[in-house]
Chains A and B, each alone.
Chain A
Amino acid sequence: MTIAPERTTTTAPPTEVPAGAPGPAIGRAVDRVDGLAKATGTARFSAEYPIPGLTHAVLVHAPIARGRITALDTTVAEAHPGVVLVLTHHNAPRLTPPPARMNPMDLSTMAAGSTIPFLNTDEVHVDGQPVAAVVAETLEAAQYAASLVRVEYLEVTPTGDFDAELGNSTPVRSMPVMPPTGGKRGDARAAYGRSPVQVDLAFSTPQHNHNALEPHATTAEWDGDRLTVYEGCQNIDWTQKYLAKRFGISAGDVHVVAKFVGGAFGGKSKVWAATLIACMAAKVAQRPVRLALTREGVYRTVGGRTPTRQRVAIGASASGHMEALIHEVTSRKGRVGGEADQVVACSLDLYDAATILAEQRIVELDLMPNTAMRAPGEAQGSFAVESAVDELAVVLGLDPVDLRLRNQPGERSPVHGTRYSHRRLAQTLERGRDLFGWADRPAPGTRDGKDLVGWGVAAAIHPSWEFIANVQLTVDATGGVTLACAFHEMGMGTATVVGQMVADCLDVPLERVTAVYGDSDLPMGPGAGGSGQTASLAASIERACRAMRKRLDSLSDRVGMPDGSDPGEVLSRAGEGSLTVEVGADSGPRATWGQVRFLSKMVLDSRRWMKAATGAHFCEVRVDADTGELRVTRWTSVFDVGRVVNPKTTHSQLRGGIVMGLGLAMGEETLIDTRSARIMNPSLAEYHVPVHADVPHLDIHTLDDPDPQMPLGILGAGEVGIVGVGAAVANAVRHATGRRVTDLPLTLDRIVG
């Protein structure tokens, strides 16, 4: 029996353990399969593989953002005991330049973190650019010797001031199949001018850095022309193909191992300087090299989330119907790479404004190229839109939940006209309102002792993505089932969830299923991005299981067993050792065909359907009336993420997203010195991620309502959690203090003013 996604449109009952799951494993709060290894410190992260003859590399970073190396003296460093070599642009192997443009048939062409030819040039393009790498027998020797490398520069004044360059921005054009960076419905400017009620606000959000707890680390080892790379990345396929291109070898000669990844959040999708340099150093040293970045090294060589400057103008009727929604955004990229986040995307689908105008512009600076970070664009854009909507509610004297409900689109996406596969945003708002007890919302500016108390709400939306997932499913005569795919486990629980999906799709007990992953020797997996990994795997797992069932059933017919019999028994009875089914191919004409088919389905799909996870956040804040100190004291969120395969891992993902959103709201900010174009706080001491005490009890609910157009009904849960969090907090602060803070983070001096 195979399990098809349920095509139900009813809202599941409000239980945490969902009803109506398709099988005994899916929907169960199964423990993480790797929990024990992680708790005992035996899970091996990429910098922890014991490798004979290993050497350690440490980078030397340029202290300038633009210029040229005029002198480089490595002799003292080379003479330090234990130093194997110092790699610079004088002795580093020449690499093939990164692909100049994106090829839709080979997405690894997007893998370049930047276009800088690292250690192949004497030019410096960004602050902290590696200009040398010291390789030594011990980490300590490499660290010390790195401080002995003498470099002189001819400095050129960098362009590092985002605000000063806003006038030099250029428009961003939306690309097909990529997330939208603009959209238009009617004449929003004219409609805004005519609207009786107007809200027009300017917002700013700063740069953020992912700060996955594991700093990037690469271990590279060459065997002739074959390269093995241990690296905790979130796109094995990109890493493999990109390294092959740069080093001029075939993809089959690059072996990438990424079994455990210590968090990523987008920061480990692309290939950054240290990966390339580790591979170069290993080639020259003819020894395995480990390059584990320091925290500062991550800030200096891996991009972060682009800052934004935004304007949101909403025109409405006196009854609270939106006549015009205008969202204008400028973001930033590096002169040497990066791209626009889809900051306006959420404005295209949150509300059914009669007219909509969403536009993005971009500025190029001498800074590290930006890169995707959890809900790239939606995280920043939702802060602006959901703050402006809240302000509109204040101006209209309407309840902010009612205002949002009043402006929900019907069947179709207002700008693109595509049909919502299913849309539950209103239900998340309504349920959240009940669960939070919104009816008892205190009056604005209510004081409790020394605190001002405020309640805020914001909505969330995040589109759902699917990527190619090639899988290999094997059943053996002992009844063991193995699913092999080079997917990524950065903590989302994918390895656990994959087991649950296979168990139900093949109708076998969960204990029999093993997932093998995190290795490029396995069939190509989907990148872990866009919250799309689980859904992508689900599609292929369904296909593989269906095919496997068919083959098992024909075997069982042969040996006279009923259909749906236990696979192990069927195989033993038939005298077969094992059966393997493959979905997709990694190379050759079948791979090309698979890609063509996938792309055309994706294009077609994107013209027909708008699929997205949605949600609503409700929170209470307390603001110290004297100091402006802000605490979030209560939180309820309700999400529609489609089917919940595992409530434990799903809720953990959503909670993690909200907490990262609390960071965005209250403290996270990468500070850039505008004159030197240098990051001033490259550390966890000065970049404030949320600590335990910042986090209130988070009450999280999911509707668990399968999406009829997604594999197994899964919409993805990795990113929607962070969307809207900044606005929910800012709206609560507005309610508590009367002050509309439009700049993130909401630090005490902004609140006190």
Chain B
Amino acid sequence: MNGAPRALDGTDPSTTILDWLRAQGLTGAKEGCAEGECGACSIMVARPTEGSGTQWTAINACLVPVAALDGQEVVTSEGLGRPDALHPVQREMAVRGGSQCGYCTPGFICSMAAEYYREGRCAPTAATPDPSQNGHEPAATANDPGNAPDHEHGPNGFDLHALSGNLCRCTGYRPIRDAAYALGAPADDDPYAARLAAAPPAARATRLDGATGTYARPGDLTEALSLLADHPDAVLVAGATDWGVEVNIRGARTPFAIGIDRLPELRTLSVGDDSVEIGAALSLSEVERGLAGRVPLLDKMFPQFASRLIRNGATIGGNLGTGSPIGDTPPALLALEALVVLASADGEREVPLADYFTGYRQTVKREGELIRAVRIPLPLSEVTAFHKIAKRRFDDISSVAVGFALDLREGVVTKARIGLGGVAATPIRALATEAALEGRAWSADVVREAAAVMRAEGTPMDDHRASAAYRTATLGTALLKLHAETATQQEVGA
């Protein structure tokens, strides 16, 4: 904690980092919502990079059990600087008027500081394509902004998405952005910058028992699976972005929680000849960085998934683990024909994602099983898109989400895979629409016909996010939109 160890003794396992910090008198991090929406609780943790170094990563302290931090390195706004020894981020926020009531400020400071230290933020080489990508155009992902200032990046390479999980009700955001864009490169003697070269502390096995239950972090997958076999009702906790909401908002208490977020076997990312395998416990931000544009469809999905702050915690396995019909990865992964790798004490099996969901929040995952990885077969289709319609443009749960992956040969659709979210009790494939497209010309007429088919996919419902009629209408237009996009792409390309 801010450079000094603090004991977790006597802490209940369902205590969040935020409540624990504040009970310790470290009141910089604040509670604005307790469900990952506002970022007032943002703190920085030392997390591994793809190499051997550290990446300062901002996460929502309100969502994560403090036990998950055992042995980890954490920094809060108080640790970054003091009124008489300000951190550069704090100085910019203060002089640019980034703080009005100030309640959101420490959270913004941590999210901003994490981006301040992002490797390559200021480096002129960031925009150069990675030669290992074999001709794949490096997509301009949020993590790969280069130096060109645009409406989402500052002249200093600052990626505004880094602040997308922080709400401010007072300032109207402008002074905060001014502060972010005014940041230079960290000084040579900056201790947090110096820290980046060395690895973060390794996660260690731990166990915390308390009045309402137990939190156990196993050392490896074998141990995790045997714990799971012994405690069939145990709850797996990965990034805890769902766990935290359950505990804080719905008052859930987990008698036995198994922390799997640091399990090395669940944190690998490998690109083979015939598939890409993504470890289930990698956060979406880590997947985004690790893939570096190799799966363009996922790159289109990431920026639309919650906020960077949430993506820094939320894992891909957790998004499938909930079985939610409105998760954003399933429509994309369905279009990619992904497989789920399930592990149990008895071994592993692979299930196509299309067969994984069986009903509302129900899956084929058996007792004693966990998701070890997600596998995406190669080669990928050339034309991909991800459309998400939500009430708010960013940082909101989908009303409807659509993932597209099409192969076109000489103007004919040779293969179509379409994943849908929010239109049925589970994420589904738009099989009828796929059939209406395959083998036919990618022409306005065919697309219009197929769009009519697509309108009838699923069984959308009315709720306060959107009406069934609106969902249906959206489905109908999604394909038209895609066609229009590819037409412009071709024009641009020509």
Q: Can you name the residue of chain A whose Cβ is closest to the Cβ of B247? A: A143
B86 with A40: CB separation less than 8 A: yes
Q: Can you name the residue of chain B whose Cβ is closest to the Cβ of A662? A: B172
Please name all residues of chain B whose beta carbon is closer than 8 Å to the beta carbon of A686 when the two chains form the complex. 464
Q: Which of B92-100, B194-202, B436-444 contacts A (4 or more CB under 8 A)?
A: B92-100
The A697-753 residues at the B interface (CB cut-off 8 A) are 697-698, 747-749, 752
- Cβ of B246 to closest chain A Cβ, rounded Å: 13
Which one of A35, A295, A694 lies within 8 Å of B99 (CB-CB)?
A35
In the bound assembly, the distance between CA atoms of A747 and B393 in angstroms comes to 11
Interface of chain B, helix or strand or loop or mixed? loop
Whether a CB of chain B sits under 8 angstroms from the CB of A317 is no
Whether a CB of chain B sits under 8 angstroms from the CB of A450 is yes
B25 with A50: CB separation less than 8 A: yes
A213 with B38: CB separation less than 8 A: yes
A698 with B174: CB separation less than 8 A: yes
Please name all residues of chain B whose beta carbon is closer than 8 Å to the beta carbon of A689 when the two chains form the complex. 167, 169
Please name all residues of chain B whose beta carbon is closer than 8 Å to the beta carbon of A42 when the two chains form the complex. 28, 78, 82-83
Whether a CB of chain B sits under 8 angstroms from the CB of A272 is no
Which one of A138, A144, A631, A694 lies within 8 Å of B253 (CB-CB)?
A144
- Cβ of A633 to closest chain B Cβ, rounded Å: 10
Whether a CB of chain A sits under 8 angstroms from the CB of B168 is yes
Q: Can you name the residue of chain B whose Cβ is closest to the Cβ of A294? A: B34
Please name all residues of chain A whose beta carbon is closer than 8 Å to the beta carbon of B148 when the two chains form the complex. none
The B251-274 residues at the A interface (CB cut-off 8 A) are 251, 253
A31 with B174: CB separation less than 8 A: no
In the bound assembly, the distance between CA atoms of A32 and B94 in angstroms comes to 7
Which one of B164, B167, B211, B474 lies within 8 Å of A627 (CB-CB)?
B474
Whether a CB of chain B sits under 8 angstroms from the CB of A343 is no
The A627-653 residues at the B interface (CB cut-off 8 A) are 627, 629, 631, 648-649, 652
Flag A685-701 by CB within 8 Å of B: 1 or 0 each: 11011011111011000
Flag A249-268 by CB within 8 Å of B: 1 or 0 each: 00000000000111111000
- Cβ of B130 to closest chain A Cβ, rounded Å: 28
Q: Which of B275-283, B356-364, B407-415, B465-473 contacts A (4 or more CB under 8 A)?
A: B465-473
Given A143-B251, A262-B101, A680-B464, A40 contacting B83 (CB threshold 8 A): yes
B83 with A36: CB separation less than 8 A: yes
Please name all residues of chain B whose beta carbon is closer than 8 Å to the beta carbon of A694 when the two chains form the complex. 392-394
Q: Can you name the residue of chain B whose Cβ is closest to the Cβ of A654? A: B172
- Cβ of B395 to closest chain A Cβ, rounded Å: 5
Which one of A37, A260, A627 lies within 8 Å of B101 (CB-CB)?
A260
Whether a CB of chain A sits under 8 angstroms from the CB of B29 is yes
Whether a CB of chain B sits under 8 angstroms from the CB of A684 is yes
Flag B4-43 by CB within 8 Å of A: 1 or 0 each: 0000000010110001001101111111111111101000
Q: Can you name the residue of chain A whose Cβ is closest to the Cβ of B477? A: A626
Given A45-B103, A693-B164, A655 contacting B174 (CB threshold 8 A): yes
Whether a CB of chain A sits under 8 angstroms from the CB of B322 is no
- Cβ of B319 to closest chain A Cβ, rounded Å: 16
- Cβ of A110 to closest chain B Cβ, rounded Å: 24
Please name all residues of chain B whose beta carbon is closer than 8 Å to the beta carbon of A214 when the two chains form the complex. 30, 32, 101, 103
A43 with B102: CB separation less than 8 A: yes
In the bound assembly, the distance between CA atoms of A171 and B29 in angstroms comes to 47
In the bound assembly, the distance between CA atoms of A505 and B35 in angstroms comes to 48
In the bound assembly, the distance between CA atoms of A213 and B99 in angstroms comes to 12
Please name all residues of chain A whose beta carbon is closer than 8 Å to the beta carbon of B251 when the two chains form the complex. 143-144, 147
Whether a CB of chain B sits under 8 angstroms from the CB of A160 is no
Which one of B27, B31, B101, B474 lies within 8 Å of A41 (CB-CB)?
B27
Interface residue count for B (Cβ, 8 Å)? 88
A-B contact count (CB 8 A): 237
In the bound assembly, the distance between CA atoms of A349 and B25 in angstroms comes to 51
Whether a CB of chain A sits under 8 angstroms from the CB of B77 is yes
B163 with A263: CB separation less than 8 A: no
Whether a CB of chain B sits under 8 angstroms from the CB of A139 is yes
Please name all residues of chain A whose beta carbon is closer than 8 Å to the beta carbon of B249 when the two chains form the complex. 296, 683
Q: Can you name the residue of chain B whose Cβ is closest to the Cβ of A660? A: B169
Q: Can you name the residue of chain A whose Cβ is closest to the Cβ of B466? A: A749
- Cβ of B21 to closest chain A Cβ, rounded Å: 10
Given A81-B211, A656-B169, A692-B173, A34 contacting B102 (CB threshold 8 A): yes
Q: Can you name the residue of chain B whose Cβ is closest to the Cβ of A661? A: B172
In the bound assembly, the distance between CA atoms of A698 and B397 in angstroms comes to 27
Which one of B30, B394, B481 lies within 8 Å of A45 (CB-CB)?
B30
Q: Can you name the residue of chain A whose Cβ is closest to the Cβ of B89? A: A39
Whether a CB of chain A sits under 8 angstroms from the CB of B480 is yes
A262 with B103: CB separation less than 8 A: yes
B77 with A629: CB separation less than 8 A: no
Whether a CB of chain A sits under 8 angstroms from the CB of B446 is no
- Cβ of A311 to closest chain B Cβ, rounded Å: 26
A747 with B391: CB separation less than 8 A: yes
- Cβ of B18 to closest chain A Cβ, rounded Å: 10
- Cβ of B392 to closest chain A Cβ, rounded Å: 5
In the bound assembly, the distance between CA atoms of A686 and B94 in angstroms comes to 31
Please name all residues of chain A whose beta carbon is closer than 8 Å to the beta carbon of B175 when the two chains form the complex. 652
B392 with A31: CB separation less than 8 A: no
Please name all residues of chain A whose beta carbon is closer than 8 Å to the beta carbon of B36 when the two chains form the complex. 685
- Cβ of A551 to closest chain B Cβ, rounded Å: 35
A215 with B32: CB separation less than 8 A: yes
Q: Which of A115-123, A182-190, A489-497, A559-567 contacts B (4 or more CB under 8 A)?
A: A489-497
Which one of B38, B83, B176, B469 lies within 8 Å of A37 (CB-CB)?
B83
- Cβ of B368 to closest chain A Cβ, rounded Å: 29
Whether a CB of chain B sits under 8 angstroms from the CB of A585 is no
Please name all residues of chain B whose beta carbon is closer than 8 Å to the beta carbon of A660 when the two chains form the complex. 169
In the bound assembly, the distance between CA atoms of A212 and B464 in angstroms comes to 23
- Cβ of A139 to closest chain B Cβ, rounded Å: 6
Given A31-B97, A36-B83, A752-B470, A652 contacting B104 (CB threshold 8 A): no
Given A39-B109, A671-B464, A626 contacting B27 (CB threshold 8 A): no
Please name all residues of chain B whose beta carbon is closer than 8 Å to the beta carbon of A656 when the two chains form the complex. 100, 169-172
A692 with B160: CB separation less than 8 A: yes
- Cβ of B385 to closest chain A Cβ, rounded Å: 13
Flag A126-140 by CB within 8 Å of B: 1 or 0 each: 000000000000111
The A255-289 residues at the B interface (CB cut-off 8 A) are 260-265
Flag B161-196 by CB within 8 Å of A: 1 or 0 each: 001101111111111110000000000000000000
Please name all residues of chain B whose beta carbon is closer than 8 Å to the beta carbon of A144 when the two chains form the complex. 211-212, 251, 253
- Cβ of B213 to closest chain A Cβ, rounded Å: 11
Whether a CB of chain A sits under 8 angstroms from the CB of B124 is no
B12 with A140: CB separation less than 8 A: yes
Whether a CB of chain B sits under 8 angstroms from the CB of A48 is yes
Q: Can you name the residue of chain B whose Cβ is closest to the Cβ of A687? A: B37
B37 with A683: CB separation less than 8 A: yes
Whether a CB of chain B sits under 8 angstroms from the CB of A348 is no
Given A140-B15, A295-B32, A688 contacting B392 (CB threshold 8 A): yes
A213 with B27: CB separation less than 8 A: no
| List of 4 A-B pairs having minimum Cβ-Cβ separation, nearest first | A41-B28, A491-B101, A262-B103, A38-B102
B: which residues have CB within 8 A of A?
12, 14-15, 19, 22-23, 25-38, 40, 76-78, 80-83, 86, 89-91, 93-95, 97-106, 109, 160, 163-164, 166-177, 211-212, 248-249, 251, 253, 307, 389, 391-397, 464, 466-467, 469-470, 473-474, 477, 480-481, 484, 488
Beyond A39-B81, A41-B105, 11 additional contacts (C-beta under 8 Å) are A39-B109, A40-B77, A44-B27, A47-B27, A141-B211, A211-B169, A213-B104, A652-B175, A692-B164, A692-B173, A695-B174
A: which residues have CB within 8 A of B?
31-32, 34-45, 47-48, 50, 81, 138-141, 143-144, 147, 211-215, 260-265, 292, 294-296, 449-450, 490-493, 626-627, 629, 631, 648-649, 652, 655-656, 658-660, 666-667, 671, 680-681, 683-686, 688-689, 691-695, 697-698, 747-749, 752
**Could you list 27 examples of A-B contacts with CB < 8 Å?**
A35-B95, A39-B94, A40-B106, A41-B78, A45-B27, A50-B25, A212-B101, A213-B101, A213-B169, A215-B31, A260-B101, A262-B102, A263-B169, A491-B99, A491-B100, A491-B170, A492-B100, A626-B480, A629-B389, A631-B393, A652-B97, A656-B169, A667-B391, A667-B392, A685-B37, A692-B173, A692-B394
